[in-house]
Structure 1
Amino acid sequence: MSAAQEASKLPDEGEIVIATVKEVTGHGAYVTLDEYNNMTGFLHISEIATGWIRNIERYVRPKQKAVLKVIRVNRARGEVDCSLKQVSGEERKSKLIEVKKSEKADAFMDFIKAKLKLSDQQVAEIEDKVLQKYDYIYDIFEDIARKGPELLQKFDLSDDVKKAMEEESNKIQVPHVEVRGVMEISSKKPDGIEIIKNTLAGVESSKGGATTEITYVGAPRYRIVVTAENFKVAEKSMNNAVEKIRSAIEKQHGAFNFIREESKKSHQG
């Protein structure tokens, strides 16, 4: 491999990487960079933690995995210096999620490869097509789980591959949030029960990324539950539904009261 090719395989300064601690010395630790063909990097003692460090192995030990930030790259010599203390909690969390997703995507593609008896070249072609529209392979499986397999129609893939991708996406539990409340609704009109039932039936739906369900608790109480990908979408749908019901009931001279209940995160799938 030429020096230019070797240099192109080095990480960039500021990049967050996964490393394995290889050897701890009095001055720091030598690590191997998992995503860069296990090339060696150095973690100086001054970049392990703030303040005086009495025992390096309190922070890093041989064979331990660590999330590090690349702070210097000497492309001519192929040397990489890293930092542990400069990695923020958010950067560490984000990197670990990325690695976990990458591992899951590899498992999905390995399963599809074995099931359909695909070659490495065929798998690479599928991944290339996906990466034209997504930053990571895992993202398309998560998108199928959220939005349905119809989105695969815009990809030039065989029906067998599409079907296998849909099946693998079913293994993903899509996180959802749930907002809840109780409505107290009454009407003194002779057909008051029918008015209430028809009003509530007109609000139950699955649209705009949210699902709205209403159940009877016991006169005059009805529970409304809205599930969505995040609280912003769920709250908007809840507010729209409640105001629609309030307006319809009050137009019919009925009584309406709404009591919020505690929201929660749930999993779907």
Structure 2
Amino acid sequence: MPNLECRMYEAKYPEVDMAVMIQVKHIADMGAYVSLLEYNNIEGMILFSELSRRRIRSVSSLIKVGRQEPVMVLRVDRDKGYIDLSKRRVSEEDIQACEERYNKSKLVHSIMRHVAETLDLDLEDLYVHVGWPLYRKYGHAFEAFKLIVTDPDSVLDPLTREVKEDGPDGQAVTKAVPAMTPEVKDALVKNIRRRMTPQPLKIRADIEMKCFQFDGVLHIKEAMRKAEAAGSDDCPVKIKLVAPPLYVLTTQTLDKGEEDDLFVYTIRQVSSPATPIPAPSATVRPSIVHVYSRRLATPDSDPSPASSSEDPVTTLTDLASDSDLSIALRKGKQSVSVPKSVVEALSHPGWRAALEEEMMVLDANGTWELVPLPADKRAIGCKWVFTVKMNPDGSVARLKARIVAKGYAQT
């Protein structure tokens, strides 16, 4: 059965003044016994005097069984295997560096152990031929594994190991062969890609866009098109409106540095001066085809007096100052309801006058001509439309009555 227990690093013991990750096993009279997680759980000891710089009131408040934390290496006896550790001498910078290194090493160790367990290999042999050479070349195997995700051949093919074979003369000959078989390489690359494939990073930028030039909305739309055109297939840029003048730029990619550079370029494109858009020429009013004025026909000898109102019925009211409609309005009948039928309108002097004036106007303008209904024609029904016209101050300006053919809009 293959051995699956091995330290993470090539050195068997840690160096003095090095921060290492430990786990507390049990607490004795003199101190606490711990295991070094990065060095195959070899035993170390922390004296109570090395727990804190302050006076110790309660040991249980400073260290607990099962807790994992970084400590500093004080002494290492390689012959006897004794390792003295200190908790009070480790700094915040050392703690952060140790935690970062341990998290990377733990991921590498998990991948290596899984490959060894799957292929029935000795874990230490796999470290000797693959893991530790990558530590020496790249500083940490984690950095090499990140490169293996995209280009495994450039990282793994240069790794070799020496084997001894019998030469033609019977003497042992050292020969360099690939460090791993194709089966081991495929399993390692597969596990690395499964565990270390980076997740797409999503970046968002909130921007404000304002334009005080002519057709500012068109300039803003042009800037939005420039922003989206600045993206690529691998790093698309999308811009959305939140509420004017606030807009949101979003993109996602595997390379954060590429995203940052792209966003800076995109914002510069949006902020660039807008291209002047020529102002439209003066609006040409359409030519008048026909003017129809609903007014009374007056003799040439009696010209109509000047009136400031263009409404024919209002003009008619001004001219016929003694008409029933004008008299009804002047009497203060400001609260007038719209009649629902002609019979109801005839019972009101104001609406009756409006009906008579409508009939008089239509007859005077020659709008209709009363003739017998031809035998081959069908009569068209008519209806009256009543409207109360109001002044800005809320008073009644006039009562309007119009007769329209059913099925036709009022003109």
Same fold, TM-score > 0.5, yes or no: yes
Q: In the aligned structure 1, how far is the partner of 2:256 from the partner of 2:217?
A: 39
Q: In the aligned structure 2, how far is the partner of 1:185 from the partner of 1:151?
A: 46
Q: Which amino acid aligns with 1:69?
A: M
- Evaluate the alpha carbon distance shift between residue 214 and residue 72 of structure 1 in structure 2; reply closer, same or farther with a 3 A threshold: same
Counterpart secondary structure, 2:138 = coil
Q: In the aligned structure 1, how far is the partner of 2:217 from the partner of 2:252?
A: 34
Q: Does 1:184 align with 2:209?
A: yes
- Evaluate the alpha carbon distance shift between residue 18 and residue 27 of structure 1 in structure 2; reply closer, same or farther with a 3 A threshold: same
RCO (CA 8 Å, sep 6+): is it higher in 1 or 2?
1
Of 74-83 and 212-221, the range deviating more from structure 2: 212-221
Which residue, out of 186, 194, 200, partners 1:167? 194
Which residue, out of 75, 89, 93, partners 2:92? 89
Question: What's 1:238 paired with?
Answer: 263
Q: In the aligned structure 1, how far is the partner of 2:146 from the partner of 2:192?
A: 10
Counterpart secondary structure, 1:217 = strand
Matches within 5 A, 1:188-199: 188=215, 195-196=222-223, 198-199=225-226
Q: In the aligned structure 2, how far is the partner of 1:9 from the partner of 1:190?
A: 69
Q: In the aligned structure 2, how far is the partner of 1:81 from the partner of 1:38?
A: 14
Counterpart secondary structure, 2:215 = coil
State whether residues 44 and 85 of structure 2, in contact with CA within 8 Å, keep that contact through their aligned partners in structure 1: yes
Question: What's 1:216 paired with?
Answer: 240
Which residue, out of 8, 12, 21, partners 1:9? 12
More helix by share: 1
Q: In the aligned structure 1, how far is the partner of 2:37 from the partner of 2:208?
A: 55
Q: Provide, for residues 66-110 of structure 1, a one-character-per-residue CA deviation record: whole Å limited to 9, x for no partner.
A: 421012334565432211111223432432333333332233234
Which residue, out of 29, 46, 50, partners 2:49? 46
Counterpart secondary structure, 1:205 = coil
- Indicate the percent of aligned positions where both proteins have the same amino acid: 19
- Evaluate the alpha carbon distance shift between residue 77 and residue 88 of structure 1 in structure 2; reply closer, same or farther with a 3 A threshold: same
Matches within 5 A, 1:96-115: 96-113=99-116
Question: What is the TM-score with the length of structure 1 in the denominator?
Answer: 0.65
Gaps of 5+ in 1: 1-7, 255-269
Q: Which amino acid aligns with 1:202?
A: A
Aligned-residue Cα RMSD (Å) equals 4.0
- Evaluate the alpha carbon distance shift between residue 189 and residue 12 of structure 1 in structure 2; reply closer, same or farther with a 3 A threshold: closer
Q: Which amino acid aligns with 1:152?
A: P
Question: What's 2:154 paired with?
Answer: 154
Q: In the aligned structure 1, how far is the partner of 2:127 from the partner of 2:41?
A: 24
Count of matched residue positions in the alignment of Structure 1 and Structure 2? 235
Question: What's 1:135 paired with?
Answer: 139
More strand by share: 1
Shift of 1:190: 11
Question: What's 1:119 paired with?
Answer: 121
